[in-house]
């Protein structure tokens, strides 16, 4: 069960949301952007659909957009910062990709060293200097390795995940999705969970949470966000947002001065 002691947010520039948190557990979840996690205290075991290992103070680790991941601290709550850089921010670090290519961070963890210490120090300063954070983040991202390839023929799970990310009124019921692509519903559900890490309905709800986060950062009111992200009402948005971030959407809205 997700257990977050605290989480605060800052948005010094539109393409780089930041969060500062202390947490014990995070259930499997996803974000719609890249995630760069900087461990500033304690240690935790992290697992994703791409990698699994224990991280420690001073380490920096990475998730790609829509990569399902989870974590559990070793003892007391782990303290960390998360930076959510946009594609444009990655472009400024690694260069732009060609049309039709998909960029994937291959690196899982950059262990404690000179570049990670610079990022930890920039984030932990009594008064955070945004320019120092951005430059330190760029240096860390330049140490990573990347793939930039044209999408390969999609597996069943990847096909379904693409359909669920489309912003349209398509039904997300497993039976309806299975009927649309012509497979058995049980096979679809089993394949999706084995490949992606969560059931298709959970994935669909978390995709909507990712959309809600974008809308909150853009300045929309929570009532409007719930409607625009296809939640039944604001309490529904709040319940699902807490499953991903461990705090209600109002914490993000207040942290950004909305």
**Which residues are registered as beta bridge partners of 20?**
8, 81
**Measured CA angle at 54 (ends 28, 79), to 5 deg:** 75
pLDDT of 151 > 60? The answer is: no
Burial class (CB in 10 A: 0-12, 13-18, 19+), 245: buried
CB atoms within 10 A of CB 128: 15
CATH of region 156-255, choose from 1.10.10.60, 3.40.50.2300, 3.30.830.10, 1.10.10.2160:
1.10.10.60
- pTM score: 0.92
Question: What is the domain partition of the chain in residue ranges?
Answer: 3-149, 156-255
CB atoms within 10 A of CB 70: 17
Give pLDDT tens digits for 18-63.
999 999 999 999 999 999 999 999 999 999 989 999 999 999 999 9
Give pLDDT tens digits for 157-208.
888 888 888 866 556 788 888 888 889 999 989 999 999 999 999 999 999 9
DSSP state of 232: S
Distance CA 190, CA 75 (A): 33
> Given this model, what pLDDT does residue 1 score?
79
Q: Are 59 and 39 in contact (CB under 8 A)?
A: yes
Average pLDDT score over residue span 78-88: 96
Burial class (CB in 10 A: 0-12, 13-18, 19+), 248: middle
Distance CA 124, CA 60 (A): 14
Distance CA 232, CA 105 (A): 35
pLDDT of 211 > 90? The answer is: yes
Q: Are 120 and 38 in contact (CB under 8 A)?
A: yes
Instruction: Provide the CATH number for the domain formed by 3-149 in this structure.
Output: 2.60.120.10
């Amino acid at each position: 069960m997700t257990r977050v002691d605290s989480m605060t947010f800052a948005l010094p520039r539109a393409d780089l949301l930041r969060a500062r948190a202390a947490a014990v557990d995070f259930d499997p979840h996803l974000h719609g952007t890249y995630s760069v996690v900087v461990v500033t205290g304690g240690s935790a075991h992290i697992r994703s659909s791409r990698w699994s290992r224990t991280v420690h103070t001073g380490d920096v680790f990475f998730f790609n957009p829509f990569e399902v991941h989870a974590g559990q601290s070793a003892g007391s709550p782990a303290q960390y910062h998360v930076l959510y850089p946009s594609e444009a921010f990655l472009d400024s670090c690694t260069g732009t990709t060609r049309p039709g290519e998909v960029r994937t961070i291959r690196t899982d963890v950059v262990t404690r060293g000179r570049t990670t210490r610079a990022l930890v120090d920039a984030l932990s300063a009594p008064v955070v200097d945004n320019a120092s954070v951005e430059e330190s983040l760029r240096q860390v991202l330049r140490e990573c390795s990347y793939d930039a390839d044209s999408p390969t023929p999609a597996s069943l799970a990847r096909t379904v995940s693409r359909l669920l990310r489309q912003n349209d009124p398509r039904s997300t019921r497993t039976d309806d999705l299975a009927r649309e692509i012509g497979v058995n519903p049980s096979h679809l559900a089993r394949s999706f969970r084995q490949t992606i890490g969560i059931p298709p309905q959970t994935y669909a709800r978390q995709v909507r949470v990712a959309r809600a986060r974008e809308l909150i950062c853009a300045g929309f009111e929570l009532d409007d966000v719930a409607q625009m992200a296809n939640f039944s009402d604001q309490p529904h948005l709040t319940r699902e947002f807490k499953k991903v971030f461990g705090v209600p959407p109002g914490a993000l809205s207040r942290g950004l001065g909305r």
